């Protein structure tokens, strides 16, 4: 029987833990993938990456970390389109994941963002499915939102760094000011 492979874009350790377990239980050989230029500032990115590396060691899965920190690319795409930034942000991260899957000969990709209640779930699904058509890697969808508490059960004893906002500076401002950015700046 052919072993099925999947490349899983990981937004953070706490969303990754159960998502990785789930796809392993579905019979997939999992490779985790870190590419999150939407996380600001840099040391916040590094704290979340360190937590992800510790999870990878503790759970024993392979983790690919993209070198560098493409935050300039993130802002080039988003500035002037702040109200639509999440779709652009998903596209930046999932495009890189799908393209890398194709380069590595991995047939399937998905994202740990699908376990989060905080994310625009239907938009994520739409962008993943669009990338299936344009890149040739198959986007595997699973609605894992009811399993987020299972993910926390796995990570809690590990005492990993846990973020307080989604990632970008806009989301940090919204988190601490209880506001939403409605309008683009243009
Ligand atoms: S709020 Fe989160 S998903 Fe939306 S653009 Fe910012 S980091 Fe990306």
Spatial CA neighbour of 183 closest among 103, 108, 81 = 81
Rounded to whole angstroms, the Cα distance separating 111 from 117 reads 14
Distance (angstroms) between ligand 1 centre and the Cα of 1 equals 39
| Full domain range(s) for residue 128 | 4-177
Which pLDDT value is given to residue 101?
Answer: 98
Question: Is 183 inside any structural domain?
Answer: no
Residue 30, Cα to own-chain centre: how many angstroms? Answer: 15
Question: Is 14 inside any structural domain?
Answer: yes
Do 154 and 18 form a contact (C-beta atoms < 8 A)?
yes
Question: Is 185 inside any structural domain?
Answer: no
Q: Whose CA is nearest to atom 6 of ligand 1?
A: 168
Q: Is the pLDDT of residue 156 over 60?
A: yes
Segment 38-56 mean pLDDT: 98
Question: Is 186 inside any structural domain?
Answer: no
Rounded to whole angstroms, the Cα distance separating 143 from 158 reads 25
Q: Provide the number of structural domains found in the chain.
A: 1
What ligand 1 atom has the least distance to the C-alpha of 85? 5
pLDDT band at residue 1, thresholds of 50, 70 and 90? low
Percent pLDDT > 70 in the chain is: 96
Output the CA angle 143-149-151, nearest 5 degrees.
Answer: 80
Segment 43-70 mean pLDDT: 98
Residues 83-117 have pLDDT tens digits of 999 999 999 999 999 999 999 999 999 999 999 99
| Residues ≥6 apart with Cβ < 8 Å to 37 | 69, 70, 71, 73, 74, 92, 93
Do 108 and 28 form a contact (C-beta atoms < 8 A)?
yes
For residue 34, the domain's CATH number is 3.40.50.620
């Amino acid at each position: 029987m052919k072993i099925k492979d999947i490349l899983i874009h990981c937004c953070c350790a706490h969303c990754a833990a159960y998502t990785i377990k789930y796809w392993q239980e579905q019979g997939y050989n999992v490779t985790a993938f870190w590419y999150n230029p939407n996380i600001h500032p840099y040391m916040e990115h590094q704290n979340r990456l360190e937590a992800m590396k510790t999870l990878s060691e503790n759970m024993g899965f392979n983790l690919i970390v993209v070198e560098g920190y493409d935050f300039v690319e993130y802002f080039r795409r988003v500035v002037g389109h702040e109200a639509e930034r999440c779709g652009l942000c998903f596209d930046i991260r999932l495009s890189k994941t799908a393209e890398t899957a194709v380069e590595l000969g991995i047939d399937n990709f998905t994202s740990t963002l699908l376990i989060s209640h905080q994310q625009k779930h239907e938009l994520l699904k739409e962008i993943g499915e669009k990338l299936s058509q344009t890149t040739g890697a198959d986007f595997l969808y699973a609605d894992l939102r009811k399993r987020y508490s299972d993910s926390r059960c796995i990570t809690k004893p590990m005492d990993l760094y846990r973020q307080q906002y989604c990632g970008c500076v806009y989301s940090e401002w919204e988190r601490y000011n209880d506001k939403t950015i409605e309008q683009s700046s243009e």
